Structure 1
Amino acid sequence: MIWAILALALGGIVKGAIGAGVPVIAIPVLTMTHDVHFAVAVLLAPNLVANMWQAWNYRSDLLPRGFLIPFALGGAAGVAVGTYGLTRVPQEGLSLIVASAVLVYVAIRLANPSLALPFRLGRILALPVGAAAGILQGATGVSAPISLTFLNALQLDRRVFIGTIAVFFTALTIMQIPALAVTGILTPERALISVIALATVLSFMPLGAFLAKRLSRRFFDRVTLGLLVVLASKIFIDVLVL
């Protein structure tokens, strides 16, 4: 639990600094200490409240509705499909999917740091890309390899990026809560732990916002990517070797 709390705190710092980071950091740690079902359920409250907060704070910096609505609705629909997979794939398989998704995200960020996508094309791809990210979110709790890579490629201003991804993550979580409740993955005990996790994340988000004004985005990227490689490698070792 100490490692889980540290992961949530670091996720809160990164979330406050760049607008995303809680699931991509906390899910691998919680997967190692518990399982993917537990990890996805515990991140519900932090995902919902933190993203609603940021969506409201950056409401004047969102992308046009013609992009935002298809992106968010596609993601919400994808979550329902991904949650079905979450209930069918064995835990070891889910752990490997989480680790693989994290490494894919790292590889994309390192291989294409300046990847650029015209906004006109991005608007066309918003619905299918949102759906694909939602499926990954529903199955593993981590949509970053698709959602963050897609928005990063649009080369958005920091405030526009934070507001847009916050709306997207909010839509995913709103769909994810009833889906996980129906499947029995979201239990009263896990809901209580999720609220505790929320308090941890919110406590550290202001620190991230403070540090973002003094440290470069590149610094946060490198630290986060390095940590993700370590976490993903640990999951592979635990599942395939130990």
Structure 2
Amino acid sequence: MLAAVAAAFFLAGTIKGVIGLGLPTVAVGLLGLLMPPAQAAAILIVPSLVTNIWQALVGGSALELIRRMWSMLVGICIGTVFGAVWLAHTDGRGAAMWLGVALVVYALLGLFNVHFSVPRRSEGWLGFIIGLTTGTVTVATGVFALPGVPYLHALNLDRDRLVQALGLSFTVSTVTLAAALFYAGEMHTSLAAPVVVALIAAPLGMVLGQLVRQRVRPETFRKFFFFSLLALGLHLALRGLL
């Protein structure tokens, strides 16, 4: 079991190091074959938080991004609380399937160079709505991607700032999701050993992924980013159907 945890989090950390996202989906998706999803999500919390904080602090001044993203981050907190209260007992398979379909559509639009842009004057109110929705979807599906990732991509940030902004968003999502899991009684001391293994494996994989990202051209990164979202969306959609 510990070897499986190490392998899953090393692979998930590598993917996260390259494109800035994917650790929860890959890790929970693989571990979900061996244990209940709630237990896999509980193991995920600490390594996800550590890697997200690391990702948020690397690449420049995080304060500048926080000033630009504050309404979105507040919305994530409120949306996660709302989701924990109202959506904790809904059918997560159906939600995951539609999330996967939406990710596939967004990835295809990106691969065909259909680009969206958010005006600076609209970031305050739109960011809050995006954050509110992202927080709710996170509780329902365990995935932090929508609609936060498309929104951040539409802010026209450069490659490294986009990855840093994703780290900020995922950090807030992870903290609020941890609070929801603790409230639901899913956090247990018996998970200490798997958490320690995951906490070692995920950063090692992330270092490898960051080295890969530094050596690829921006256009290659863009294509890999959208192909990864396409694969993630197909995985979620098919998992919801099967």
Deviations 1:113-151 (A, max 9, x none): 422222322333111211110111122221202111110
1:48 aligns with 2:46: no
Change (3 A) 1:119 1:6: farther
Total equivalences in the alignment: 235
The one-letter amino acid of 1:221's match is: F
Q: Where does residue 153 of structure 1 map in the other structure?
A: 154
- 2-structure distance, mates of 1:78, 1:49: 22
- Alpha-carbon offset, residue 4 of structure 1: 5.8
The one-letter amino acid of 1:231's match is: H
Change (3 A) 1:189 1:25: same
- 2-structure distance, mates of 1:3, 1:237: 25
- 2-structure distance, mates of 1:86, 1:198: 29
Specify the SS of the correspondent of 1:156: coil
1:224 aligns with 2:222: no
Alignment RMSD: 2.6
- 2-structure distance, mates of 1:82, 1:60: 31
> Where does the alignment leave 5 or more consecutive residues of structure 2 unmatched?
none
The one-letter amino acid of 1:181's match is: F
Q: Where does residue 126 of structure 2 map in the other structure?
A: 125
Q: Where does residue 99 of structure 2 map in the other structure?
A: 101
The one-letter amino acid of 1:68's match is: M
Change (3 A) 1:100 1:35: farther
The more displaced of 107-116 and 198-207 is 107-116
Q: Where does residue 109 of structure 2 map in the other structure?
A: 111
- 1-structure distance, mates of 2:235, 2:5: 12
Q: Where does residue 73 of structure 2 map in the other structure?
A: 72
TM-score of the pair, normalised by structure 1: 0.83
Deviations 1:155-192 (A, max 9, x none): 21122212222122212222222321121122223454
Change (3 A) 1:141 1:236: closer
The aligned runs of 1:182-197 (5 Å cut-off) are 182-190=183-191, 192-197=193-198
Question: Is 1:54–1:163's contact at 8 Å kept on the other side of the alignment?
Answer: yes
TM-score of the pair, normalised by structure 2: 0.83
1:179 aligns with 2:180: yes
The more displaced of 206-215 and 31-40 is 31-40
Specify the SS of the correspondent of 1:145: coil
- Alpha-carbon offset, residue 3 of structure 1: 6.5
- 2-structure distance, mates of 1:96, 1:36: 15
- Alpha-carbon offset, residue 64 of structure 1: 4.6
> Where does the alignment leave 5 or more consecutive residues of structure 1 unmatched?
none
Q: Where does residue 29 of structure 1 map in the other structure?
A: 30
